[in-house]
């Protein structure tokens, strides 16, 4: 993780850095990965107020995506179905649930089955404030997610979870566990990408306070140098 933090600082200071790197606390919302819209990619998601399904029953039961396209094989449900984890505005809010709730996803991909490299990126954010408790992401085919979360410039918290999976399957199943700890989620977006040669390069970071201080110190040094140059 420290390596990613250093890359973020390098980008701010003008040193060459990966173009597909996103700094959560410099943004105001979820990011568009560089693979979005390219061949062998899929994209879908749900915006604020859209988490109830076709039946207005306060249960997540395959709500229609409001981002991207509806892809064959896509599924988004919850378990247990007895937990009411939707607010009056139809956003996810677990404060009233008696125990943990799993968000269950079946994620269709667009790749060559059994070969290459599959990247799956999940992002989510709150309407405002923190999550209360961080979501927990299950393994996919024995592979864990690289997870980053933090506050953005709009006052919301958001997360980035990236899976890098060798090979490809038409559909991957994922469970995201939400604790009964006032977790609030108002937007979720998911991207998948398949390549014959490697994983998507995208990363997300939240710089450590010391890294941010280094950026400020560097900026101050440049200003001070310019002032001295003018006085010379």
CA distances from 87 to 73, 95, 172, 187 (A): 27, 9, 28, 13
Residues 114 and 2 grouped into a single domain: no
Residues 142 and 102 grouped into a single domain: yes
Residue 221: predicted pLDDT = 40
8 has a pLDDT exceeding 70: no
Residue 146: predicted pLDDT = 97
Q: What percent of the chain has pLDDT over 90?
A: 69
CA–CA gap between residue 43 and residue 64 (Å, rounded): 13
CA–CA gap between residue 83 and residue 33 (Å, rounded): 33
Residue 232: predicted pLDDT = 53
Mean pLDDT across the stretch 126-134? Answer: 91
Mind listing the pLDDT tens digit for each residue in 50-60?
999 877 788 99
Residues 130 and 223 grouped into a single domain: no
Residue 55: predicted pLDDT = 77
Residues 49 and 5 grouped into a single domain: no
Mind listing the pLDDT tens digit for each residue in 181-203?
888 999 999 999 999 999 999 99
Residues 15 and 93 grouped into a single domain: no
Residue 222: predicted pLDDT = 39
The residue written with tokens 């390596």 in the block is 3
Residues 75 and 135 grouped into a single domain: yes
Flag the least confident range among 119-128, 148-157, 180-189: 180-189
Confidence band of 220 (pLDDT split at 50, 70, 90): very low
- Domain containing 97: what range? 22-201
Residues 171 and 223 grouped into a single domain: no
What's the structural domain count of the chain? 2
Mean pLDDT across the stretch 38-54? Answer: 94
Query: Are 121 and 162 spatial neighbours (Cβ–Cβ below 8 Å)?
Result: yes
Residues 7 and 40 grouped into a single domain: no
Residues 72 and 131 grouped into a single domain: yes
Residue 211: predicted pLDDT = 43
10 has a pLDDT exceeding 70: no
């Amino acid at each position: 993780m420290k390596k990613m933090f250093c890359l973020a600082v390098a980008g701010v200071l003008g040193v060459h850095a990966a173009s597909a790197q996103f700094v959560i606390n410099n943004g105001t919302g979820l990011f568009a990965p560089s693979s979005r819209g390219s061949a062998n990619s899929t994209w879908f998601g749900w915006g604020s107020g859209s988490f109830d399904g076709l039946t207005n029953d306060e249960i997540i039961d395959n709500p229609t995506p409001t981002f991207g396209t509806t892809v064959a094989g896509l599924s988004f449900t919850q378990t247990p179905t007895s937990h009411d984890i939707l607010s009056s505005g139809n956003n996810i809010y677990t404060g009233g649930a008696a125990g943990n709730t799993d968000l269950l996803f079946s994620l269709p991909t667009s790749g060559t089955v059994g070969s290459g490299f599959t990247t799956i990126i999940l992002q989510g954010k709150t309407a405002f404030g923190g999550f209360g408790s961080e979501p927990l992401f299950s393994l996919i085919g024995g592979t864990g997610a690289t997870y980053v979360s933090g506050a953005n410039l709009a006052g919301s918290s958001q997360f980035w979870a990236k899976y890098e999976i060798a090979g490809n399957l038409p559909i991957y199943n994922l469970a995201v566990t939400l604790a009964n700890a006032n977790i609030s989620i108002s937007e979720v977006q998911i991207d998948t990408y398949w390549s014959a040669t490697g994983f998507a390069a995208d990363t997300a970071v939240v710089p450590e306070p010391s890294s941010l201080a280094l950026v400020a110190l560097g900026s101050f040094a440049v200003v001070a140098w310019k002032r001295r140059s003018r006085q010379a």
